[in-house]
Amino acid sequence: MIGIILSGHGHFASGLYSSIKLIAGEQENFEIIDYEEGMSADTLATRIEGAIQNLSSLKDIVVFTDIAGGTPFNESAKLSVAHGNVRVLSGTNAPLLLDSCFKRNVSIDEFMEEIMQSGKEGMKVFKVK
């Protein structure tokens, strides 16, 4: 099983997880880390490191973040250098994260490819014809 860490600015992580839990139920090996106003980057990094340690029995871990170049992404990317089994993804949306909950038993490369596609396909524009 692939471990999941979800982090983002404000209550992005806890809010998105609330939606996922409503649809797919409680998820195991799934850590949620909000980057709240006033929190330092060092505190965030410590929490992400703790989540990585909590999931250390798993072969692979993916950190899902909101914005590339944002603090949750940057701190996760730094930590991934020290942990060869950690990948970091930005631009997380609900369809991508929901799909990830059901595909956690495939290879990490297949997992990343499939969920990225789900994220792209999950974006739609409603247009009156």
Joined together, the tokens standing for residue 18 give: 């609330």
Domains of the chain: 2-121 (3.40.50.510)
β-strand partners of 68: none
**DSSP-assigned states of every residue in 40-94:** -HHHHHHHHHHHHHHTTTSSEEEEEESSTTSHHHHHHHHHHHH-TTEEEE-S--H
5 neighbors 31 (Cβ within 8 angstroms): yes
The DSSP call for residue 1 is -
Q: Are 34 and 13 in contact (CB under 8 A)?
A: yes
Q: Which two tokens stand for residue 46?
A: 């410590």
Residue by residue, pLDDT tens for the chain (129 residues) are 999 999 999 999 999 999 999 999 999 999 999 999 999 999 999 999 999 999 999 999 999 999 999 999 999 999 999 999 999 999 999 999 999 999 999 999 999 999 999 999 999 999 998
- Give all strands of the β-sheet with 86-89 in edge-to-edge order: 30-35, 2-9, 60-65, 86-89
Write down the pTM of the prediction.
Answer: 0.95
